[in-house]
Copies of this chain bind each other. A is one copy, B any other.
Amino acid sequence: SGKVKEQSMVCRCCVYCHVKFVQPCLVELLGSAFFVFIGCLSVIHNEMGTGLLGPALAHGMALGLIVAMLGNISGGHFNPAVSLAAMLTGGLSLMMLLPYWFSQLCGGLIGAVLAKEVSSKERFQNTSGAAFVTVQEPGQVMRAVVMEFILTTLLCLTVCMSTINQRTKSPLAPFAIGCAVTVAILTGGTISGACMNPARAFGPAIMANHWKFHWIYWAGPLLASLLVGVLIRLFLGDENTRLILKYQ
């Protein structure tokens, strides 16, 4: 009977572990893979006629639907920068940050691999496999960093305010998050590529072996996460989220 109890204990532990750890990470991996797969192919197979509109809608709607579908399990980040901002504003425990990042980068890599597999070699090379090649000269770097910084601020703010901060939580969050991505690409697509997501940048960069100015797509978004953390914790958050200026 002691053995049975022990087994049952192990079992409950397994389930707990699955629900609290494996499932969220799996969901982040799956969602990131879909997002990067869709994002890459919408760029690789973009026709000339509609310019940025196709990729902008594809990226935005893809993120919107994945958040609507899987957000309840993992929080719906699919983006290392968003996970950092969520952790800073109280939407993710510190212990889960690295597992999330790892899952998201793996997901991004899987998405990029699959996108390469289903594309013709010619198309893939013409578009550098949807890696970010907008920035070609040192003179463009500063602008691209600022752009990534501002756009990721908007994205992280949207996620944290509409899914974490109680006072501004909204059932339309997936719609808002999708819009943030679409809008960002229409705004910054020709300046920095409007990546806002290291996982989106990392996978295709490996597949196309394109690392020039790759750091922009880590530095810009992650700095933006820090700003969003500060903004919400000091000024925009509600009574529970704010660290200063509280009753009591």
Contact = CB atoms under 8 A, between A and B. Distances in A.
A150 B62 CA distance: 14
A226 B14 CA distance: 26
B236 A27 contact: yes
Interface in A121-136: none
Interface stretch (A66-74, A101-109, A197-205): A66-74
Tallying the copies of this chain within the complex gives 4
B54 A170 contact: no
Contact of A61 (B71, B182, B245): B182
Nearest to A111: B150
Contacts of A167: 72-73
A208 interface: no
A209 interface: no
A179 interface: yes
A196 to B, nearest CB: 13
A34 B37 CA distance: 29
A236 B72 contact: no
Contacts of A60: 61
Contacts of A182: 57, 61
A22 to B, nearest CB: 8
A53 interface: yes
Choose among A18, A23, A175, A246 the residue with the greatest number of B CB atoms under 10 Å from its CB. Answer: A175
A135 B218 CA distance: 39
A41 B14 CA distance: 51
A15 interface: yes
A177 B73 CA distance: 18
B70 A168 contact: yes
A50 B53 CA distance: 8
Contacts of A41: 187-188, 191
A88 interface: no
B190 A45 contact: yes
A201 to B, nearest CB: 19
A158 to B, nearest CB: 5
28 contacts: A14-B245, A15-B246, A23-B235, A26-B236, A41-B191, A42-B183, A42-B186, A42-B187, A45-B187, A45-B190, A48-B49, A50-B53, A53-B53, A53-B57, A61-B182, A61-B183, A64-B175, A68-B173, A69-B161, A70-B161, A72-B167, A72-B170, A118-B147, A118-B150, A171-B171, A172-B174, A172-B175, A175-B175
